[in-house]
A and B are shown apart, each in its own frame.
Chain A
C-alpha cells in the first residue's frame, strides 16, 4: 500500500520531452515511481480482504490482482472499481485502447478477452483476472505489422486513428471466428464500433482483403501463466519478449450470424 501511495505524490522534476513523447519511456518513469508490480506476498497485505460467508470480500481500497495481457502476467493493485480500460491505460501504459464513450457503445476500447471482443471500459479489471487478454499492442508492431494491420494501412482504414485500434481488435476477433466472411457478415461483426471520420469503406476493404491471409496468431491463445514478476520496464507491450509460438486452438464455430 505504501508503495502505491507514492504514486499520489508526484516526484519533483519533469520528464524530458523526448522521453515523455516516446510512450515507452513513460513506463520506465512510472516504474521508478513504484508501478504497482509487487511481490506476491506483499500484494496479499493484511486488510486487503476479509472473509464473509466463506468468501473473500475485497476492497473498497486497492486490492492485488493478476492480469494476463498479451501473454504476460502482471501483478498490480487496483480498486475493485477500476475498469480494465483504465487499468490498461493508467497502470500499464497500454494506451492503444482508447477511452471515448466509456459506456460500452463506441468500440474504441475493444480488446480480446478469452479470444472474444469486449469493451474494456465495461468490464472490471478485478473481474477478468487470470483470463487471457490481448490488446492492440499484442498484435503487430509498426515495423512488423500483423497482416490485418497491414491491410488497414494499405486500404486506408483510418483517418484520425482514434477508433482504429478498437476496429483492429474487433476485426481480429471477428475474423478469428469467421475467417471467410461476406460483406454483410463484416457489417454485423463490426457493428459494435463507430468511426467519426468515416473510414468504413477502408474498413470493409481491409477486412475483406485481410481475411484470406490471416495467419493464426499465437498471442491470444491459452498460454502457461508465467510465474514471476515482469520487469516493469519490459512490461509495456511484451515486445521485447516474443510470445511462444503455439499452434492456435481455433474453435471454428462456423456459425452464420443472423443479420
Chain B
C-alpha cells in the first residue's frame, strides 16, 4: 500500500519555492496560441444577430437575403418568430461566412421585427419589481428580544451593483467536425472536461466523440464553465457549412451577456453590548441573477451572531443569467456584513480591530483570524495609525483605514491524473484540466518533478484536452488541490511500480528506495542507483504509466481558509475621488505549491476586488434595459496606477502546511470592497453605503449627511 502524503518541509526541493510559471516565455513572446488566435484551414467566421431589446417577442424574421450573399455558408435561426426574448443581446440568429466582414454584412441583412415588451432591470428598487421570490427566513435564537436589549445598535442599507467578468479573451470557440458524429472544439473555457459532454448533448452526438481543447485561455473568473448556446450554435453552423467555424463574442456582447456578478442589497440592524460583544442581527437582502436566482449570500458573514434572522430574496430581471464570479456570493455577504459591523464599531467608539478581535469566538477560524489580524496590524501599522471616524486633517484630503475578514472552502475537486515516464527518462502528466492563468501547468509540473526527484526540465505537463483523464473545472479555488493531489498520487503510484522492478536490481527492498536527484537509489546507500533510463529499460520499450485521483487516500487537500485585509485610503472630500494608498492581505491556504504564483493569485484577487470597489459597474439603461457600459471606456476597470501599494503575506509553515493544499483564487477577492469602504467611512466620518466608490457615490453620501445635519438643526 502506498502511503500518500506531501514531503516533509526539509525534503521539499520545489514545493513552496518561488518558481516562475513554465508557460511564461510562450506568453510574453506572443507565441502562446489562444482560441482567438487559432485558424484551422478553411475556417469560417460566425457572427450573431442579437436582440436589441431587453424583453421582446420575435414577430418575424427573414434570413433569405443573408443566405443569398456570396461567401455566406450557413445561417441559423436561433430564436424565430414567436420566441420571447428575455434579455438584451440574446442570440436571435447566426451566420457563418468566409470572412468576418462578410459575416457582419450578412447579419446586417437579416430582417427582424420585434414586439417590444415591458422590462425590469433595476433590482435595487425592489419596491418597483414586478416579481420578488422571497427566500426562506432563517432565525437562530431570539433576535428581536436581543435587539431590544442591545446597548448599542445601528441600522443601515448597503449595496453593490452588477459587475461584469469582462474576460480579455472573449467567450467563444472554433468547432470542426471530424466525422459525421464527431467534432473537435477549441474553446476558451475553464472546464474542458465539463464542456465536452455539454456540447455533445447540444448537437446530439455521443460525448465520447467530442474533444475540447484549451491550450491557453484568456481569463474566465467563473464565467466560462458552460458550452453556452453560442457554442452549440457554432457547432451547428460548422456542420451546416461543412467547415470549421470560429465564433467569438464581440466586446459589447461579452460585457452584456457573458458575465454578470449579481448585485446585492441589504438592510441590516445589528446590536451589541457596550463592551462590543455582538448579540443581535436582523437583516434582509436581495439580488438578481437574471430570470433565476443567483444563490444566497452568506449573511451575516463569518460572525455567527447568537441571535440572528435573515431572509434573502431574489428579484427576477431581464438580463442574462448571472455567472459565478470569483468567490460567488462571498463579496456580497462580506460587504453587507463588514460594513454593518464597522458602523457598529464606530457607534461603540471602538477601534474596529479590537471589535473584530473581541468577537472572533463567533467565527469558525478563531485562531487563524487572530494570527492574521496580528500580522496585518504589523504590516499596516494599524494600531499606530488608526484614528476614530472622520480624519481631522485640515484640507480636503482625508485619510482612513478599514478592514475586513473573509473565508472560503477551497478543497481540491475531483481530478484524475495519468503519469507516464517515457523510456528516455522524461516524465509526463496528463490531466483534463486547464490553466486559467493561475499557474495550473506549473503546479502540476512542480508536484510531478518533486515526487519523481526530477528537475523541472525533465517533466512535461499535458493539459487542456478533454481526452486526458477527467478533472474538474477551474473554479471555486478547487483546482490546485485537485490536480496536485491527483498528480501526487499518480506519481507515488508510478514510483511504487518502478521501485518494485528496481528493488531486486539494486539488491534492496522496494520500500528502501527513493527517487531523488534524477535517479532511483537506495536510501541508505545512495551510491547504489539506477538512472531513470536504466530503470525504464527494466520495462522493455514501453513507457510506465500510473494513475492517481482526488479524492483518495491520504489527506493531501483540505478546506476552510481565513483571510484578513486592511486598506489605507485617501479621499478628496471635495471631489469624492478615492485613492488607494495601500492594501495589506494576510491569507492562509494550507500547503503552498508555488509561492510565486500563489502570491500572484492574492495580488490578482485584491486588484479585482479593488477595481470593483472603486469603479466597476455594469450600468443598465432604465429606459431600454440595455447595457450602457459596453466597452473598456465606460466599463471602468482599475489600471496599474489605481491600485495603490499592495502587500501580501501568505501564512505558511507549521500549523498551516499540515492541512494540505487548499485553493487560493477566490478568498483574496472578497475583502477589498468592505475594507476599502470601511476605510472611506473612517476617512470621511460618513458611510458611503453603495459600491463602487465613485465621486458620485461619495459626494451623494456627503450631501446626504449635510442635508441630514441641516434637517436635525432645523428640527
What residues of B have a CB within 8 angstroms of the CB of A141 in the complex? 29, 31
Q: How many angstroms between the C-alpha atoms of A158 and B216 in the bound complex? A: 13
Q: Could you tell me the distance between the alpha carbons of A143 and B26 in the complex, rounded to whole angstroms?
A: 9
Q: Which of B20, B39, B218 lies in contact with A154, CB distance below 8 A? A: B20
Q: Are B31 and A96 in contact (CB under 8 A)?
A: yes
Chain B positions within 8 Å of A193 at CB level: 639-640
1/0 per residue, CB under 8 A from B, across A76-120: the answer is 000101000010011001111111111101101000000000000
Choice from B33, B36, B600 contacting A21 with Cβ under 8 Å: B33
B44 and A160 form a contact (CB under 8 A): no
Interchain nearest-CB distance for A148 vs B (Å) = 8
**Nearest CB on B from A145, distance (A):** 6
In the complex, chain B residues whose CB is within 8 Å of the CB of A217: none
- Determine the distance from Cα of A162 to Cα of B221 in the docked complex, in whole angstroms: 14
Most A CB within 10 A of own CB, among B29, B42, B99: B29
Chain B residues within an 8 Å CB radius of A219:
none
Bound together, the chains give a CA A97 to CA B29 distance in angstroms of 10
Q: Does B603 belong to the interface (CB within 8 Å)?
A: yes
Q: Mark B61-100, 1 if CB is under 8 A from A, else 0.
A: 0000000000100000000000000000000000000111
Interface stretch, picked from A46-54, A163-171, A246-254, is A163-171
Encode contact with A along B2-43: 1 for CB under 8 Å, 0 otherwise: 000000000000000000110111111111111011111111
Report whether A202 and B42 are in contact in the complex, using a CB–CB cutoff of 8 Å.
no
Residues 34-77 of chain A, each 1 if its beta carbon lies under 8 Å from chain B, else 0 = 00000000000000000000000000000000000000000000
A165 close to B30 (CB less than 8 A): yes
B604 on interface, CB distance cutoff 8 Å: yes
CB of A103 within 8 A of CB of B40, answer no
Q: Taking CB as reference atom, which chain B residue is nearest A136?
A: B30
* Known contacts A190-B640, A197-B437; A160/B631 CB under 8 A: no
State which of A3-11, A123-131, A221-229 sits at the interface with chain B.
A3-11
CB-CB under 8 A for A95 and B219, given A100-B251, A160-B169:
no
Contact of A136 among B29, B596, B605, B646 (CB under 8 A): B29
Contact A149 B28, beta carbon cutoff 8 Å = yes
Asked whether B167 is an interface residue with its Cβ less than 8 Å from the other chain, the reply is yes
Are B24 and A98 within 8 A (Cβ)?
no
Instruction: Say yes or no: A162 contacts B28, CB within 8 Å.
Output: no
- Contact partner of A153 (CB less than 8 A), chosen from B25, B42, B437, B438, is B25
Cβ of B629 < 8 Å from any Cβ of A?
no
- Contact status B596-A23, CB under 8 Å: no
Q: How many angstroms between the C-alpha atoms of A33 and B39 in the bound complex?
A: 13
User: Does the CB pair B600–A196 fall under 8 Å?
Assistant: no
- A142 touching B169 by the CB < 8 A rule? no
Nearest-CB distance from A252 to chain B (Å)? 24
Contact residue among B32, B98, B100 (Cβ-Cβ distance under 8 Å from A9): B98
Partner among B37, B597, B606 whose Cβ is within 8 Å of the Cβ of A156: B597
Whether the Cβ atoms of B29 and A200 lie closer than 8 Å is no
Tell whether A215 is near chain B: CB-to-CB under 8 Å. no
Q: Are A10 and B243 in contact (CB under 8 A)?
A: yes
Q: B33–A10 contact, CB under 8 A?
A: no
B176 located at the interface, meaning its Cβ lies under 8 Å from any Cβ of chain A in the complex: yes
Q: Is B250 an interface residue (CB 8 A)?
A: yes
Max chain B C-beta neighbours (<10 A), residue from A17, A21, A101, A142: A101
Asked whether B216 lies within 8 Å of A161 as measured between CB atoms, the reply is yes
A201 within 8 A of B: yes
Most interface-central of A10, A168, A203 (chain B CB within 10 A): A10
- Chain B residues contacting A108 (CB-CB under 8 Å) are 168
Task: Looking at the assembled complex, report how far the CB atom of A235 sits from the nearest CB atom of chain B, in whole angstroms.
Answer: 15
In the complex, the answer to whether B244 meets A156 with C-beta atoms within 8 Å is: no
B217, B218, B599, B603, most chain A CB atoms within 10 A = B218
Number of interface residues of A (CB under 8 A): 77
Is B607 on the interface with A (CB-CB < 8 A)? yes
Separation in Å of the A169 CB from the closest CB of chain B? 9
Residue from A33, A139, A159 whose CB has the most chain B CB atoms within 10 Å: A159
Which residues of chain A come closer than 8 Å to B677, judged between CB atoms? none
A interface: dominant SS = loop
> Which residues in window 182-217 of A have CB below 8 A to B?
186-188, 190-191, 193-204
Residues of chain B contacted by A101 (CB below 8 angstroms): 251, 631-632
B148 on the interface (CB 8 Å rule)? no
CB-nearest residue of chain B to A139: B29
Interface check B145, CB cutoff 8 A:
no
Question: Which residue of B has the minimal Cβ distance to A203?
Answer: B640
B623 on interface, CB distance cutoff 8 Å? no
List, in ascending order, chain A residues with CB within 8 A of B33's CB.
Answer: 21, 23, 95
> Given that A10-B43, A20-B38 are contacting pairs, would A156 and B24 also be in contact in the complex, using a CB cutoff of 8 Å?
yes
Query: CB distance B25 to A21 under 8 Å?
Result: no
Q: B251 contacts A102, CB within 8 Å?
A: yes
* Distance in angstroms between the alpha carbons of A194 and B166 in the assembled complex: 11
Q: A103-B632, A162-B34 are in contact. Are A8 and B99 (CB under 8 A)?
A: yes
Checking A21, A105, A143 against B633 with a beta-carbon cut-off of 8 angstroms, the contacting residue is: A105
With CB as the reference atom, state the residue of chain A lying closest to B22: A153
**Chain B minimum-CB-distance residue to A93:** B39
CA distance A102 to B172 in the complex (A): 16
Residue pair B30, A200 in contact (C-beta under 8 Å): no
Distance A228 CA – B149 CA, assembled complex (angstroms): 89
Residue of A nearest to B220 (CB): A160
Q: Chain B nearest CB: distance from A238 CB in Å? A: 13
Are A159 and B438 closer than 8 Å at their CB atoms? yes
Assuming the contacts A103-B251, A159-B600, A160-B437, asked whether A13 and B24 have C-beta atoms less than 8 A apart, the reply is: no
B631 touches A162 (CB 8 A): no
19 cross-chain CB contacts under 8 A = A11-B41, A26-B40, A81-B101, A86-B100, A90-B100, A101-B251, A103-B632, A139-B29, A142-B29, A143-B25, A145-B25, A153-B28, A160-B169, A165-B30, A190-B639, A190-B640, A191-B640, A198-B606, A201-B603
User: Residues of A at under 8 Å CB distance from B?
Assistant: 7-15, 17, 20-21, 23, 26, 29-30, 33, 79, 81, 86, 89-90, 93-103, 105-106, 108, 135-137, 139-143, 145, 149, 152-154, 156-165, 168, 186-188, 190-191, 193-204
Q: Which residues on B are within 8 Å of A, measured CB to CB?
A: 20-21, 23-34, 36-44, 71, 98-101, 166-170, 176, 178, 184, 213, 215-219, 221, 243-244, 250-251, 436-439, 596-597, 599-600, 603-608, 611, 631-633, 637, 639-641, 643, 646
* Top 7 A-B pairs, shortest CB-CB distance: A96-B30, A10-B42, A198-B607, A160-B437, A162-B218, A161-B27, A198-B604
Q: A106-B168, A187-B641, A201-B603 are in contact. List 4 more A-B contacts (CB 8 A).
A: A95-B30, A103-B251, A105-B631, A162-B34
